[in-house]
């Protein structure tokens, strides 16, 4: 049975959330394969032409120079440009109208900077993320703006579809390949829902997931 370690990240370096620490995590795990939050169509830009990068892809590029393992982009093929633009406008409105939102975002930023991956892979991070989500819900109820509600609902639908696609692709890879250790990079905002999805649908489906006791990895 393969073992897959879920490592939650942010796509940009910030304080203790940095290349050095993430690379150390990968070295500790020594995966046979890395699953990444990236659509297959972006592979060329990040790994062949190298015209784009983020914290995870820089780490993977450095690791595969010494350890020629497979890394698999598993995200859903979608043009998210307009969704990110709309979501940015949504959060700008929420920020302007919610003290709780601003406070939770500030705490999250501070914890990421100070504690890095130990925070991003903790229940405390899940709690702060839930507080941010609750502040968004409450502010949308207060604003009663149909366009904002539509953007929010569309965004949540896309997130759910992406998470389902990523988990399904991991399990398909497991059915098609033999390996001992895998690593799954995902943005920390997905942590709670990804774990819930695994526990609800795939708990006894041939993969040993590690997402609670990291045994000194972090």
pTM over 0.75: yes
Per residue in 183-204, pLDDT (tens digit) is 999 999 999 999 999 988 766 6
Cβ neighbours, 10 Å, residue 191? 21
Buried b (16+ CB within 10 A) or exposed e, 149-183: eebbeebeeeeeebbebbbebbbebbeeeeeebbb
Whole-number Å distance between alpha carbons of 67 and 155: 37
pLDDT in tens, 93-144: 999 999 999 999 999 999 999 999 999 999 999 999 999 999 999 999 999 9
Dihedral of the alpha carbons of 56, 61, 64, 66, in degrees to the nearest 10 = -120
pLDDT digits (tens, 9 = 90+) for 16-58: 999 999 999 999 999 999 999 999 999 999 999 999 999 999 9
């Amino acid at each position: 049975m393969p073992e897959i370690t879920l490592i939650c990240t942010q796509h940009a370096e910030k304080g203790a959330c940095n290349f050095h620490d993430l690379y150390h995590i990968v070295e500790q795990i020594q995966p046979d394969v890395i699953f990444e939050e990236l659509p297959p169509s972006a592979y060329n830009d990040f790994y062949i032409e190298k015209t784009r990068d983020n914290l995870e892809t820089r780490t993977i590029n450095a690791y595969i120079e010494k350890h020629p393992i497979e890394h698999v982009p598993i995200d859903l093929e979608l043009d998210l440009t307009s969704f990110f633009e709309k979501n940015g406008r949504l959060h700008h409105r929420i920020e302007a109208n919610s003290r709780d939102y601003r406070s939770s975002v500030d705490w999250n930023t501070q914890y990421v900077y100070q504690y890095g991956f130990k925070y991003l892979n903790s229940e405390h991070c899940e709690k702060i993320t839930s507080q941010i989500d609750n502040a968004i819900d409450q502010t949308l109820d207060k604003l009663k703006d149909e366009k904002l509600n539509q953007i929010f609902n569309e965004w949540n639908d896309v997130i759910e579809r992406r998470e389902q696609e990523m988990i399904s692709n991991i399990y398909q890879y497991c059915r098609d390949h033999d390996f001992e250790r895998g690593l799954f990079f995902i943005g920390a905002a997905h942590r709670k829902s990804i774990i819930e999805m695994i526990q609800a649908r795939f708990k006894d489906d041939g993969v040993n997931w590690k997402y609670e006791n990291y045994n000194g990895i972090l």
